[in-house]
């Protein structure tokens, strides 16, 4: 819903993609879906306020891929989000 700005079906490909990313992050981090959604959306909002137009789905995808590497080093999902924000802001 947040990515498109309107109601979408649970079977929409975008919804399924968000669900897959959420499941991957939750499985590795142990965080609740709600916590992941809130922190991802909050960090995405920081990027938008800085003037970048990255979509929420792309931001979450980048965060998930980065987390899968960082998690092996003991880096938390929240730390990864901050890193992704800095990467996006600095090009």
Domain residues for 30? 13-89
The structure's pTM equals: 0.81
Average pLDDT, the chain: 87
Residue 64 lies in a domain: yes
Residue 33 lies in a domain: yes
pLDDT tens digits for range 15-53: 899 999 999 999 999 999 999 999 999 999 998 888 888
Residue 7 lies in a domain: no
Could you give the percent of the chain with pLDDT greater than 90? 44
The full DSSP string for 23-90 is HHHHHHH---HHHHHHHHHHHHHHHHHTT----HHHHHHHHHHHHHHHGGGT--HHHHHHHHHHHHHT
Residue 31 lies in a domain: yes
Number of domains in the chain: 1
Residue 68 lies in a domain: yes
């Amino acid at each position: 819903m947040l990515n498109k700005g309107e109601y979408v079906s649970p079977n929409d490909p975008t919804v399924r993609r968000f669900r897959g990313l959420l499941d991957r992050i939750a499985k590795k981090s142990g965080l609740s879906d709600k916590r992941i959604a809130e922190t991802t959306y909050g960090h995405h909002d920081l990027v938008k306020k800085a003037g970048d137009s990255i979509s929420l789905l792309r931001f979450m995808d980048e965060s998930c891929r980065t987390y899968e590497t960082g998690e092996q080093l003991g880096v938390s999902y929240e730390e990864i989000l901050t890193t992704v924000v800095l990467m996006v802001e600095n090009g």
